A and B are shown apart, each in its own frame.
Chain A
């Protein structure tokens, strides 16, 4: 039999990493889409007022830059179809805005609030996290974001035990460097903050060294990433003072895909035993502040938010139990108990039990209408937005699940 010749393309093959870069590219603007008239931008004054509830607001440019640097936008979200990123101020967002508005490092209101964001697939958990981050940036907070906990546990990065750590922790230096990179790029405020006390660091540090410079040391050399991060964290959590360069704003710690952080990771010990995610230094750092008992407070106040993922989540019975218990407590129902004859990951349960759960559900019809009107004003929906269309879209999106609403109205519309 004659061999058929495989036709080879004559054009240049994509360079290494180019395909992945294309796949992971986040596009935040569509120049074809129309600009929406009369849509206000989010700012400190309107982020917690009840009048803005149920309306779309645009995200201001600097905040968009910060959010992009923090990798808060995801490829799977439909930002690429609209002129500029805009979000719906749903009731949960306004509540979150009130929390952020009331927290202040200077006054006595410096408390630490912990929340797990839970809800159905497409209910807007990740975007709620993004909104919290946007509001924190507007308030001048420091935001540390872990865009997907899966990246920390999937064994794609170098790892090594931290010597003399008790209990033994494993460090991922490249991931720490990328965390520092996100932190440094997304928080321009770090350039105004300087070191408040001397630290031991492999490189000489002057008192004028800004926290941004310190982070840059860690970014440029992954071997220095962990020491740089620990010093940065000690500085950020040191007491705030009104002296320029020594103010320490509240902190927002955000993590998406919580379930990945509560199970065995894909890393192995020297004895080829799986390493629990809690033994990874970065995961352990975050969970230390999420934990409700015993709680570790942020000295200058802040918010610790962990969003669950419904589309990419490993099974984690401990998290499921903790969430159902917390929701039952909120509703005043009987708190479910774990069957004592079945195994449960007690470490995971201790980490998340007792943490407040913010349940996110479907939008109301008024909110759904606001979203659909925004789509229509952007020119991507061509139907007339009336009660009938809103009702239909709301119903077929599983009772106003915003992700499904977008899928049905804009993205998967054939």
Chain B
């Protein structure tokens, strides 16, 4: 086993460096230290040094989240770090005695008034800050009990300016209602029906193209004459009169989709009828599912229509014509809906079959 300490290698490691006589230690000192505002001041003053423009740093993520949740009226993250030992041992004398000395001192000091002013050195700057002081800040009033007392002595140079500058009251833009509505978000920009139809029209991820189709569909509905309603194919109850529809194309579209949307779908359960025969079970659909089925049917029917013209707008034209046909009761989609409903009625007894797994 070789010796741990290799004496021959030592000179290589211990390089001989002649000692320099005097080395000037250059400490990069900022011209003006970063000024921190008081704990109660709303906006800390910006550093005047141009080089220190970026000296201000963003708050920590959780601090920002806490601030945001305070704005939106929710409960945000707790900013206190570590376990709240002081709270745990509060009122428990025995536990307090067994605490480490550091914590004991801390508890003692927190109970007693502090002896030193942490901001004692910032007296000169206090005046600077006051030059940018606006009467908008409420703490003058709160400090002086609602009246600006001692104005002549402490706030002389600043207050004269502050009084002459007009106070900006309120907000430039009105504050949002709290709690913020669910749809008040950039991703919820359009009507939910429009969004859903867009999702069904979109091809190869070309969303803008789908949006253009949608716009053309709505424009077609806007410019086509009011539909003539067929009483044999009733629309959803509460539908507006047909003359109101063209100028509200989104409502027109929604009405067409909701009117032909089926209430249920038929689920074929394999082998449940015995002898390998599928059992047809009606399943109720949610609103979105119903609309989705209706849009699929309408798009299928539109695909079978023939183009009369050429160009990019033909798909939109076919879909729009199909939508009008739906509202007027001419579309074959109504028969599809009727067939599903009929099957649903005939197969409703299957719901009572024994051995059906609830899905």
Quick check: is B246 within 8 A (CB to CB) of the other chain? yes
Contact B222 A382 (CB under 8 A): no
Quick check: is B225 within 8 A (CB to CB) of the other chain? yes
Residues facing A in B200-223 (CB within 8 A) are 211-212, 214-215, 218-219, 222-223
Contact A412 B222 (CB under 8 A): no
Contact A81 B308 (CB under 8 A): no
Contact A11 B306 (CB under 8 A): yes
Contact B309 A23 (CB under 8 A): yes
Task: Find chain A residues with CB under 8 A from B158 CB.
Answer: none
Contact of B223 among A13, A18, A32 (CB under 8 A): A32
Q: Across the interface, name the chain B residue whose C-beta is closest to A7.
A: B304
Quick check: is A19 within 8 A (CB to CB) of the other chain? yes
Quick check: is B18 within 8 A (CB to CB) of the other chain? no
**With A27-B223, A32-B226 known to touch, is A22 a contact of B310 (CB < 8 Å)?**
yes
Q: Across the interface, name the chain B residue whose C-beta is closest to A31.
A: B225
Quick check: is B194 within 8 A (CB to CB) of the other chain? yes
Task: Find chain B residues with CB under 8 A from A18 CB.
Answer: 308-309
In the bound complex, CA of A380 to CA of B214 (Å): 16
Contact A414 B310 (CB under 8 A): no
Contact A411 B215 (CB under 8 A): yes
Tell me how many residues of A have a C-beta within 8 Å of chain B: 24
Quick check: is A203 within 8 A (CB to CB) of the other chain? no
Quick check: is A174 within 8 A (CB to CB) of the other chain? no
Task: Find chain A residues with CB under 8 A from B119 CB.
Answer: none
Task: Find chain B residues with CB under 8 A from A20 CB.
Answer: 309-310
In the bound complex, CA of A81 to CA of B246 (Å): 11
Quick check: is B311 within 8 A (CB to CB) of the other chain? yes
Task: Find chain A residues with CB under 8 A from B190 CB.
Answer: 414
Residues facing A in B275-325 (CB within 8 A) are 306-311
Describe A's contact surface by its main secondary structure: loop
Quick check: is A33 within 8 A (CB to CB) of the other chain? yes
A371 CB → nearest B CB, Å: 18
Task: Find chain B residues with CB under 8 A from A414 CB.
Answer: 190, 194, 198, 211, 214-215, 218
Q: Across the interface, name the chain A residue whose C-beta is closest to B214.
A: A414
Quick check: is A398 within 8 A (CB to CB) of the other chain? no
Task: Find chain A residues with CB under 8 A from B266 CB.
Answer: none
Contact A22 B223 (CB under 8 A): no
Contact of B311 among A23, A33, A81 (CB under 8 A): A23
Contact B198 A81 (CB under 8 A): no
In the bound complex, CA of A382 to CA of B246 (Å): 12
Quick check: is B248 within 8 A (CB to CB) of the other chain? yes
Task: Find chain A residues with CB under 8 A from B310 CB.
Answer: 19-20, 22-23
Contact A380 B308 (CB under 8 A): no
Residues facing B in A1-46 (CB within 8 A) are 9, 11, 13-14, 18-20, 22-23, 27, 30-34
In the bound complex, CA of A240 to CA of B212 (Å): 53
Contact B215 A412 (CB under 8 A): yes
Task: Find chain B residues with CB under 8 A from A239 CB.
Answer: none
Quick check: is B155 within 8 A (CB to CB) of the other chain? no
Task: Find chain B residues with CB under 8 A from A80 CB.
Answer: 219, 223
Q: Across the interface, name the chain B residue whose C-beta is closest to A80.
A: B223
In the bound complex, CA of A31 to CA of B246 (Å): 10
Contact A32 B246 (CB under 8 A): yes
Q: Across the interface, name the chain B residue whose C-beta is closest to A11.
A: B306
A12 CB → nearest B CB, Å: 9
Contact A14 B309 (CB under 8 A): yes
Residue of B218, B219, B306 contacting most chain A CB atoms (<10 Å)? B219
Contact A412 B223 (CB under 8 A): no
B298 CB → nearest A CB, Å: 17
B131 CB → nearest A CB, Å: 34
In the bound complex, CA of A11 to CA of B306 (Å): 8
Quick check: is A379 within 8 A (CB to CB) of the other chain? yes
In the bound complex, CA of A195 to CA of B190 (Å): 63
Q: Across the interface, name the chain B residue whose C-beta is closest to A382.
A: B248
Quick check: is A413 within 8 A (CB to CB) of the other chain? yes
B3 CB → nearest A CB, Å: 80
**With A414-B194, A414-B214 known to touch, is A32 a contact of B309 (CB < 8 Å)?**
no
Which 3 pairs between the two chains have the least Cβ-Cβ distance? A22-B309, A32-B246, A19-B310
Residues of B within 8 A of A (CB): 190, 194, 198, 211-212, 214-215, 218-219, 222-226, 246-248, 306-311
Show 23 A/B contacts (Cβ-Cβ < 8 Å), sorted by A: A9-B306, A14-B309, A19-B309, A19-B310, A20-B309, A23-B309, A23-B310, A32-B223, A32-B225, A32-B226, A32-B246, A32-B247, A80-B223, A81-B222, A379-B247, A382-B247, A412-B212, A412-B215, A414-B190, A414-B194, A414-B211, A414-B214, A414-B215
